[in-house]
Amino acid sequence: MPNVQITFPDGTSREFAQGVTALEVAKSLGPRLAADALVAKVDSRLLDLTSPIEASGPIQFITPSSPEGLEVYRHSTAHLLAAAVTELFPDAHPGIGPPTETGFYYDFYREKSFTEEDLAKIEAKMRELQKADLPYERIHYPKEEGKKLFEQMGEFLKCQLIEEKAEPVFSAYRTGKFLDFCRGPHIPSTGRIKAFKVLSVAGAHWKGDEKSHPMQRIYGTAFFSQKDLDDFLHKLEEAKKRDHRRLGKELELFSIQDDAGPGLIFWHPKGGMVRKVIEDWLRDELLKRGYDMVYTPHAMRLHLWETSGHTNFYRENMFGAMEVENDRYQLKPMNCPGHILIYKSRRRSYRELPVRMAELGTVYRYERSGVLHGLMRVRGFTQDDAHIFCMPEQLEDEVQACVEFAFAVLSTFGFDRYEVELSARDPEHPEHYAGTVEEWERAEGALRNTLERMKIPFKTMLGEAVFYGPKIDVKLVDAIGRPWQLTTVQFDFNLPSRFELEYVGADGRPHTPVMVHRALLGSIERFFGVLIEHYTGAFPVWLSPVQAIVLPISERHGAYAREVVGQFRAAGIRTELDDRNEKLNARIRDAQLQKIPFMLVVGDREVQAQAVGVRRRDTGDMGSRSLAEFIPWLRQLIDTRAVKW
């Protein structure tokens, strides 16, 4: 049998007998590596350590410190969960169980609902199977033979997957009594799983289709150490306290009404006020930075989306077209075709470029009900959208201005940490993108050059580009360390050609402009949800829907309290009066629960001194302050948009 030449990451290579396993190679390098290795990457493919190596090539061992390590580890823990569930509940039929960014889940079809007590039993069984150190045994089956085996087991969901996705000979993994159709790879055995937790159960649908089998999705997480797991669980508890859905209801900010339909947001007066403040600031900044405000219809003829390419690349996220007078109209999922039509409405000269159009435009996208999530994932939302039409030589300056604008947004709203990604095409799947390879290389180069010139660290994300061009994504990091995707700056060389956009150049001849799509907040809804969770609903004074509340101690102080409210409102401070026939402490507690920044108590001393007794929501009593002193101080906090005070 011929030998194979294995090349290691340091550039050295050694010969091994053909068919040597990755584990045997690891052992030859030392017992520590063999003990740490989870799987191997052989010639860019992830393989089980027990897999034979049949050809020469590079090898890399994936350990807990490797980027891919946690994903494989969590995938194997999902199989451990499924093994526990099917052993405890034989009536549960497994569907799919992938790893996620924060853990894993596994879907099951079962007529009876899983309870909290069931989840505790499942976790206990997982620990029992983990201690048994069961191997993840890879088995190969011819397609028809394997499908027949799963049919005999009664696993009809797995049979569907085998029919749709299996190769002529496919792999399955046995973990104890549990057999799963899976491509793998997996870690060597259950004993390698050190720290995990079953978290919750939720409803889902088979393949995400609401008309298909209802599934129960059991969520869990796994880490390489108990400390990492404990840190995650602590953050999870903190996230529950900050859940914008609960706070949105308690603070009367927004709601989602069943009568209207899922994924559609109703802004209540207090939430509407916060939205107005955000939008007012944004519009003022747009005008300062040379943008023109435009407005476009909510529905337009479908052929615009056919021209743009959305019907080819984005159809599954678009609502169905409407028939109107023998024509077809589309609820807009994007604002770009509308802005393009405004640009095309007259002849353009190079002298007026760049043209920057901005719109707080409401768009509608079809999201499956199973993925809707409060303000974060909706079906109707308002984008702070803008499109910049410019000459190619202006592009990098415009992109830089957009990135600088994004950083101004983050700092203004109190975010001091962020991550930047350059989303590029996947060169192995050109069918997912419009345009030529040369156009893509030029576009990606322009964005990369801009970030490098600005000395901004960034990560390149292959396959994350949109169909019409690459993009820069800025993810803010919130108070508990969670990244949120909001800002995107996208280069588009595609739509200007599709819509035959032109400008007259200095040579008097027509030229095709390039476009920059950019959204800074992403959507008003999602940004508001992130703000709620970042601040736990306790907004900075300038953003608070109610900035101060006046609390008269008794009825005889009512006239002065109303006078105080009038003076604060005259100074542009959002102020309310609470003169209910309730004890003062009860009214203070209610104001505290509503997270109002300042509670202004007025009694005999305050009436006499023309003052207010100031209580802050965070630190409590500030003592008595005269109106002449306190109103300008508070006004300055608001005008400077102070995040801390």
Q: Which are the catalytic amino acids?
A: 336, 365, 383, 385, 387, 471, 517
Q: Enter the tokens of residue 247.
A: 């706070």
Amino acid at 596: I
- Determine contact, residues 594/574, Cβ cutoff 8 Å: no
Q: What is the largest CA-CA distance in the chain?
A: 102
DSSP 109-159: E-SSPP-HHHHHHHHHHHHHHHHTT-B-EEEEEEHHHHHHHHHHTT-HHHH
- Determine contact, residues 130/190, Cβ cutoff 8 Å: yes
Going by C-alpha positions, the residue among 324, 301, 323 that lies closest to residue 311 is: 301
Going by C-alpha positions, the residue among 53, 49, 46 that lies closest to residue 15 is: 53
Q: Enter the tokens of residue 586.
A: 């009860």
**Helices 524-535 and 269-288, packing angle to 10 deg:** 110
Going by C-alpha positions, the residue among 512, 120, 562, 556 that lies closest to residue 348 is: 512
Bridge-partner residues for 290, per DSSP?
none
Burial class (CB in 10 A: 0-12, 13-18, 19+), 459: exposed
Q: Enter the tokens of residue 74.
A: 């969590």
Buried b (16+ CB within 10 A) or exposed e, 241-273: ebbbbebbeebebbebeeeeeebebebeebbeb
